[in-house]
A = this chain, B = another copy of it.
Amino acid sequence: MNEKKRIHILETAMVLFNQNGFDSTPTSKIAKKAKISVGTLFNYFPTKSELIQAIYVEVKIHSRKTFLIHLKDNASEHDNLQSMWKAVINWGVDNPEEFKYLEMFSSSPYINQFKNEKTLETYQKFRESILEALSPTSICNEYPKYLLMYIDNALHAATRYIINNQHIHNVDHFINQSFDLIWHGFVKK
C-alpha cells in the first residue's frame, strides 16, 4: 500500500463522482482513469461504498485544517464570525471539486452512515463557538439548531454563487456583503 497512490485514487474518483454521480461512475472507469487495475482499486478500498466515504473523510480533514487557523480567541464576536465566514467561503472557492463533493455527499444516502460520527465531532466545537457568540442576543435564539442550519445554508449559497458566477468583479466585496446580510439579521434592534 502506497499513500500517494491512495490519494491519487481518491482524487481521481472524486472528479469522476462529481461529473457523473455515484451510481453512474463504475469502478472500472475509476481504475481506468487512475491508470490502475480494478483489482488494485479493491485492494485499496474493499468496497465502492468505502471509497466514497474515504473521499468524504479526506475532504473534511483537509477543510478543517484550513478553518481552524482562522479562529482567534481574543477577537470580538463580529470579527471572529466574519473571519470564519471568509475562510469557509474562500476554501470552497479555492477547492471547487472538494466543495462540490461535500454538497453531493451531504445530499446523498451515504451521509446517513456519518451522522453522530467522529468527523462531525470536531466540527461540533466549531459550531458551539458560533452559538456562544450568537445565541444570547440574536433573533431566533430560542432555536440554536436552526441558527446553525441557517448559517450553514447561507455559507453554501454564497460559495455556490461565486463558483457559478465567476464574472463577479470584486469577490471580497461580495463576501463582505453576504456576511453583512446575515450579521445584520442577528443583531436585535
Contact = CB atoms under 8 A, between A and B. Distances in A.
Nearest to A180: B139
A153 interface: yes
A161 B149 contact: yes
A176 to B, nearest CB: 10
Contacts of A20: 109
A158 interface: yes
A49 interface: no
A157 B150 contact: yes
A142 to B, nearest CB: 7
Contacts of A104: 107
Instruction: Please provide the 9 A-B residue pairs with the shortest distance between their CB atoms, ordered closest to farther.
Output: A185-B185, A23-B23, A107-B107, A153-B153, A149-B157, A184-B185, A153-B157, A146-B161, A140-B181
Interface of A: 20-24, 103-104, 107-109, 138-140, 142-143, 145-146, 149-150, 152-154, 156-158, 160-161, 165, 174, 177-178, 180-187, 189
Given A107-B107, A108-B21, A160-B149, A185 B181 contact: yes
Contacts of A107: 103-104, 107
Contacts of A21: 108-109
6 contacts: A23-B24, A139-B184, A140-B181, A145-B161, A145-B165, A184-B184
Given A24-B109, A139-B181, A184-B185, 7 more contacts: A23-B24, A107-B107, A139-B180, A153-B153, A181-B185, A184-B187, A185-B185
